[in-house]
Amino acid sequence: MNTILLIEDNTEIRENMAEILEMANYQVFSADNGKEGLNLALQHRPDLILCDIMMPVLDGYGVLHVVQKNKFLQNIPFIFLTAKSERADVRKGMDLGADDYITKPFEGAELLNAIDRRLKKTAQLRKEFQGNLTGFNDLISISAGESYLEKLKENRSINLYKKKQKIYTEGNHPARLFYVNKGKIKTFRKNEESKELITGLYKEGDFLGYMALLENVTYRETAEALEDSELALIPVAEFEEMIGSNPVVMKRFITLLANNVNEKEDKLLAIAYNSLRKKVADTLIEYYRKYNPLKEENFSIDLSRDNLAAIAGVAKESLIRTLSDFKDENLIAITAGQIQILDYSRLENMYN
């Protein structure tokens, strides 16, 4: 019996859907918010996840983000349930890596057909790869970084990088793919006046440096450790073999590349047109989402003001002044230089 995880905050919709799925001989686990849903996902490892987008505690985008970063969950088919049928909202969900979406309201047959299609496709992939390499499970482990990283640890050392140590430099030719085993990494570019703009943030479980490898160009940015970090180094030949022989791995990196491009386009627009307050608020939210996807209450943003300004694309003095304003407005608290978000919703929806 296939298992379905249903994450939906509307009680009536959730109960009706669960009844339909159970009548179709699926075992159903239900949650009314994203955080509870993730706990159930880790506990039961369902065959498919159905998830609403607009929910309290943790929305559907946040759930998908955590699922894709978790080595035990990232290959589970994921379908969004949404009343947001606008093209931009649908594109955002698919760009983030969702396998499908269903627009509410929908008929029971439409729901069951979407689930059946997705489960059959997963089963077909499993069948196709059963005799390839060492089977589908090994392929999933490689794409998740789990067993492959273990082999890297056995065959070669994990490189250690101290805080502020460079990992690779803009203009150099790539010779390897990096996998963040531990720590936090930033990528950045500098202009002729050596002013820095941070272009990306990376954490444990992220791949790094794949854009230059996929495009066969020199690095367009520099990578540096934000704290003491451990990275596994995958030689370019092994990376090319992985993506050349494994469509699932190829798909994953294409998705990462597309998301990276979209994020940078959005960032450029924000820097060009957003107000100072909006830029700073978005920076705090970006860092919070990246390193605290489950929204733990005791989380603090421990990042230098120089780095925060470089993410926002603003002057350090302007950032400090704006943070002071946010503190006076009870949006954040600042203790020993560390920032705690007090009103996530107001920061996320900061007026431009």
For 158-264, CATH number?
Answer: 2.60.120.10
Q: In this predicted model, what pLDDT tens digit does every residue of 178-231 receive, in sequence order?
A: 888 899 999 999 988 888 999 999 998 788 998 898 888 999 999 999 999 999
Query: What's domain 3-128's architecture?
Result: 3-Layer(aba) Sandwich (3.40)
Q: For CA atoms 301, 306, 308, 310, give the dihedral sign.
A: negative
Question: Which residue's structure tokens are 């067993």?
Answer: 147
Q: Domain extents for the chain? A: 3-128, 158-264, 274-348
How many helical (H) and strand (E) elements, i.e. helices and strands, does the chain have? 14, 15
Say what the pLDDT of residue 131 is.
Answer: 41
Q: Does domain 274-348 have CATH number 1.10.10.10?
A: yes
Residues pairing with 166 in the sheet: 224
Tokens 């431009």 label which residue? 352
Low-confidence ranges of the chain (pLDDT < 70): 84-91, 95, 124-157, 245-249, 251-252
Output the DSSP codes for 188-246.
EEE-TT--EEEEEEE-TT-EESHHHHHHTS--SSEEEESSSEEEEEEEHHHHHHHHHH-
Question: What confidence score (pLDDT) does residue 326 get?
Answer: 97
Q: Is the dihedral of CA 112, 118, 120, 126 positive or negative?
A: negative
> What's the pLDDT score for residue 288?
94
Amino acid 199: pLDDT: 92
Cα distance between residue 285 and residue 70, in whole Å: 21
Pairwise CA distance, residues 212 & 257, whole Å:
10
Distance CA 59, CA 68 (A): 15
